[in-house]
Structure 1
């Protein structure tokens, strides 16, 4: 079976991938070791994480409106707060008025430095703005007079009911503070977002209810006296928040007094991509039936339109006048010329006749002539003030070009034209006869697509499936499950805030039952782009985590020492030096706390930029360093020849057959650093190690080979025995512990040696080995379930990965 390595992208997906292309390639490399090349897509720079990318423009859309008896008007809008036109907009601020992410950053960027300067002045005079309070600054360049900075409550992920009820009065107080600012500043209208929802973890539906109910209470009280005709706009850019506000208003304020019909645009089924002002489309059809400004024909210098199927079809539809005119146009026609005639009975204004030669004839390159002819037709269309042009598959017939050559040459010419064209929008269409399946397929090779290259068929297919599941289809909600979300720092959460505004989506971070992740809701294209960005954040977090584990692991086994440069002994730098040494590098340039140095492994010296030299030494502990693996690393995985293997379970394959699985391949894992630490732990833990199993997802296979088993890599569906690293005694238990997605193509199981030692029953709230016999200084080595088929350890150094077994379901399914 041929490897499928090209994923074509339609116009919508090109737009999506352009917003997250660099992050998409990072994810594929991190998760599957798969290299991805984006063709026909200009990927946004990752610097857009820092707020450089402008948020998507939202067309203002009023969803609800009501005027209450005492004059208060309340309406619900889907719009961008940075451009919404009212007297004041509300910023969801923090106590220090640091506009570092999300809505605060968007307003600060749009409004200019004036907002930040006034915010800093307020903090300098008052130290902070308390939760529930609000302050006012000028609006700078925004479409309003003032910005009201309201500080709503900030809850931890998955807050308890008690925490929510405790925070609710502060949210109510924040809304009242906004209304008080309106009165004080003599403002008549304000735009209020869903304060504290989303990344600040206040439940959206309850948030909407509190905001609307507070407005109702304000209206009904003395503060809402007759003729106090404020206009309150409840404005959000994401659909879930808008819907929540609509529901709350209907329930609390009454029926909508405003109606509107919304017509949503639908995307065409034609495979197309927009490149600057040029839209290139590929479709099956008949060129002579096209309704367009220009139809392109192909003929020979003899100008006989009867020769060739395309030319004859065009002539039959246009009429004999077409043949008469073309013969009168050119006295000495030659290869590469383009002759213009009227369209006559065709549904076009002009026909451009391209004079091509056979691929094997003539002194000039036929490919260059074909490429130049396409460009010439495009420039002629511009000079003739035409806005659409349709091409057949020029050269695929008697001229001798292969389908791939035709697709490649023609499309590359259009791409080159689009890079320089800055005129009115131009529609370019390749019309392929229904029988030309091969041309239609190979046209994808040079139209926008993602090209994948991986070290194995399994990795290739896993990468393709991940892209397909994430990018294709309409997703108004995507949930990313990755426990490395728990390692997100302040900058990561600020990044989430920026993404929420950038892509007009609603984000919710969760952590429950030992699983963490991010839920994304909003419009489909925005949700997909935001999901890729957040997946990339998780990949970076897991790589930072792995590097830290790797550094600590190597630091405990080998030390690079230099009397003149003690910084080399720090874990991170020590690991970098050790890995460079194992890789066989003669020299390695490092930056140590801002000091640039060159390490020469051949002479065992280090030199800084000032020419100062010193000796370096490599000191290994115990048996580490006596063995050196091929491949220039401290770990490797190599495929086992199952025909020669003496492992009984792989020879009979019975354990996997019973579960309806077929072994695809088995890889032996060797990690000399992990083995050394495992053997050291074996001296502490009593008893012989057990052979146990763990099921993991594809993206963590390489990480386990590299830094061993971690609780973040394979959390079970339920942590009934505690928050540790789970193993199973058999495949049945593994399949129950880790339930993968439906219809998955591959499953991955590690066989490991595990030091279980003294064990006891585990419980869900156990986070470390419990003490033995009540002695706080003596602990069990592991915990287990009642059946003893599940074992949980709390240190990755108690387990050593031996084999990675890749399986797939048999055709007959599970038994």
Structure 2
């Protein structure tokens, strides 16, 4: 038991002397030697003024400084009886990495460690993991834990979710929970908390979250009630070398005196008119304004903290509802303050819109140009998407220099000399034109026919050939019984080379090669020439629905493309592409997305695509045209 609450025992119907009760209770608390008990609270009924005075007199002995009196309700504070003073100046330690892939941080007496490994092999008192609503999830880490735990644990779980959340959000939530636990609960027995990450690429998200919280005070910022608690701790247990010597014992008043209008009039009608006038004045000074804007859905953690600060500084209530395109902020309060808050929030919305436009432009430029830096003869490294955008914008505007960051240090990039400098350190810069370098990349597929210098060639496959049978198998994998008229291989050398460059880039960025899927795209007879020559164009997004983002859509099931989007020609012939699509690392899509969402706290680090259902996708959406290659055109009926 960590806390206990007492009333002023026996001072009511039993009629015990109130000053005696106060002295006895204080004496017994002082004599008690706690093991786990952390807080003792004494509540004095606000109507019992004599008891309030007696307890005040007894509890104030030894207090230096004045007593601040509140209103009629007096609440005796919680008494922190920990042997260690709450008035510590400990801070959350810096993040250290004692070995590769292992990050630790000290939070008071608790050590937080994040590393990758097999959680079922850990020696610990408890394992915490997400599951589904019935605690029966048999996938990923949950399956491994249940298999290792055995039948008994599985049965217990059945008697009692996979979330699909973003790794960065999970990392922030878990690290924040540990920090808040240490700050608020002041743990006695817990000494070590370890987050074991099976997917090694997620360790970076946890590391960034730990760095964000490092340097904070372990002790919470002291509000009024906390100061009361520390004061009574001093009264009960004496002065500590770590505690403040200027604490005040404060009696807290929780009642707020209302404003009362007393109306006098000659007739009831006069009183009614007076009351209506007062109500009208009150309503005139109180207003509710909803602000609807899709950009609100992109508000960051910092934006939300700004809203909280605005709510504290102004006489206004701010309610934020993130609902995609229908996101809304509702302001309520005094007219003047609501108008000020409204102006500030609209400035925030415009800033978010500018940032989203910038991210969208940066995303497109990243497929055309890649800026790289090379340190001390090491292999070239590619800049993040936003830095790449800033460098390219400066290059196109013929700026001689621009400020950028490399490894979180600020450098001045000289585009004329292709170098970045900082305090005598020089780093070489290089601009790679991806489109120009495409021709020098990997050769065309060996089974393609000689294109004889042509940009695009359609090759009709022979029925019964191995290649024909492979495409037909994909077409009929969900029992699509339509008659195939012909299958053509689309040979477009420029599109193919750009696609292969992007594929290599994703393999390097995502640290795996499971980035490609073969999907289907139905279209009308008037669109095939455009697709054969130029590929898929995301600017057509929305023509047939854009529920999951403003990109190009591809279906897992050929039935979906055949029935919904393959428009017939005059002969009744329909057309569908079997497409190579670089879905890469994907997440849940939503209406109005101009680019994929960020997959970490670094907003320049985006997912590669989105889907309708992360656990069982039926379609994928890409926002970069080079991420899809129309490999085969199937004509059917």
| TM-score past 0.5 threshold | no
